Chain A
């Protein structure tokens, strides 16, 4: 079920009403049933995979808790890793793997072709497997105690607001919340609804209206010039941000209405002054997951320099691969790893240059410049993320080197002229609001303390969503990861 569907518009109020009517001790049953229904609306049989992951991790954790030594617990951790990563590999990477092997065979003249399996990728598999893995690893490390209530644990794995696209929650944050008694709280519910409202604005008005132009260019990049390629990439940067941040905000708002606090997943990432800061603001739940379960176990930065760089690169390449089974994602991850390593190497020189040029005396200007450079670097990486192949990505980048700015006109994309105006206008509006929040510490107008401002914002943004939103029930981009 999509958040931006009629089905959800009916499903959610029913769940909320039943939730507050239901006695506390039975609420987990309601939420579990709602969560499985939410997932099964997409494809019922794939709920079995969630169930398998739940059963294996539940029993593995119980078994681990009975064993005092890590070495004894290890086999149960391996079981959990094998099942979750095995599922992920089978459904997400098998065809990518066989395709790559076939290419190697072809290049060395081996006439053997492994057939493609063409398995349908289960929605959200990367998210819930990572969530359950974090539980198994935390139990293994003795960080959390195993959840003995199977129903509550099943709910932790399948909790519908964040089931298909995160935020990827940690057991020590989410599990205790299922036991907490939650009363009807007007302020909290309204806060949650406001967040959902804002998420829908980002998704329906900006992300979904940018799709047409972005898809047009990236489907046949060779047919478009530099200006069109730059514009499409700029729009994609906002499309993916508004799509995913929009989803996360709706998810957090949805959970808040029924009394749960999910972690913040985005914090105005395009205001980051470095790629390192970008990753502290973008998809926070995933980047912290990789930090805690991949980067730090590899040794983090407490190792010799080359090993530190290696750890960074491995973490980002794996993170790229997590996003999709395609070499474009690998290159995207590699680029981000390379950016970070370059920044570490560059750091001492940057300080010297800032002092020598006097830029250190102009911190605001420096900050704006850094934000700009970081955004450009992120956009270059987005080209690989969005392109259908590495070759296509290089075509787009090649186009971008040949730009005639004077040729800008509104009908650069004749079939999407109005969409271009609308999207750019609302991107400007969003960026202005974010600027006020970032630099002046203002609140989002929907959350203003002044009632007239708040209500005017409700009506204005409500009308914008209704009138300019693209109501085609398009999927959220991150569902496919």
Chain B
């Protein structure tokens, strides 16, 4: 339908022709040819490392292509750098917003813009910001500080900033990763409006249901090459997944278990009693959360990022001491903040940001592999540390994690994010005899690795471990969980059995509405 909006003879806004880009030992892009048209939302799909980001970095002038050419409005162009691409009307909204948190919305919009007057009066730039907001139909509060805004509002500011620079093509990198379902819907409305006004939109995403919902066409990249470009009406999600991974692999929608899930009278691996957590500023991050983790079940924690998940995971693994309430570990009150004691009691933890909190990036794979077990033989003793044993341990762990190591002594930051995640998961799986807390374990993994990760969590469950799965991906939560808890603004909105869980109810709870609100709506 949108394709008929413009005459067939009109050139695409941006035509990529045979684009290639090479890094040492890696062909990031090879012979990629895609048309990005006006009045079209174009989804770019592919696994991690398929070359989507590299391609967009070429398009936005961050990288120079090693081969091929870009044709803008019928003329060949070369972008010497990002400013050149912006001048040509190509704007990008990054996954991590590039806003100044302490500035207001209006100040952020005015920042680095040559139309900003030399003398900056708050009233003038706010008026300008409101005018922009009206023109593009993106509601913002011009005088609000960025750090007081939700992720969705910040994203609107970011989009507005790009549009105000005269962008005719808007590229969004995983724009829905941090949004609640309600915010996703309003983002998609804004994108459709921009498209209907003749703008070109490219969204990079992993989420197939979103592609089906919002895109007009999609292109699939695999191993740096273009597999195909399709009209969305011609494809099914299964077909796209097959193209993305080169073989028809479906992530199972459920992980059947040999024995029935443990009931309410099952032994409790960990109990949280009205646990509250405050941050340094005294803001309540976790508000009187009570939970029972049953041995041998997967408890899914659904919720939009930034609603208390790190604090909950922290309390469960001993990184954070409860401000009030208490944690019972195997029946006994747990020490306040003592991650070592929790680990010794069989609590494993795959944290959200593994590179920052679970690994020492500059040290070798061996040093990182033994982080949980260096105190025991053969690696360690009371005083000793056996580097040779640590290397052998790392090699064995890598085999178990299905990671190929060039050298166990090379710094772990040299590994891909996916391989780091696999190693952390394998390492934590080893010590998690009682509880395994996995926060966003699929982040940075491709579909094959996600399948393996889920198998591993299911295996831990079958082995009698209480698995806590914190995720923003509802499909993942629904596939693995026996019970599902929804965390919103630090409060537990409800815990439901998998059989009773409904996607729309969870969605409403995630956006902060009571479960019964949907009946009224």
Do they bind each other? no
B residues near A, CB below 8 A? none
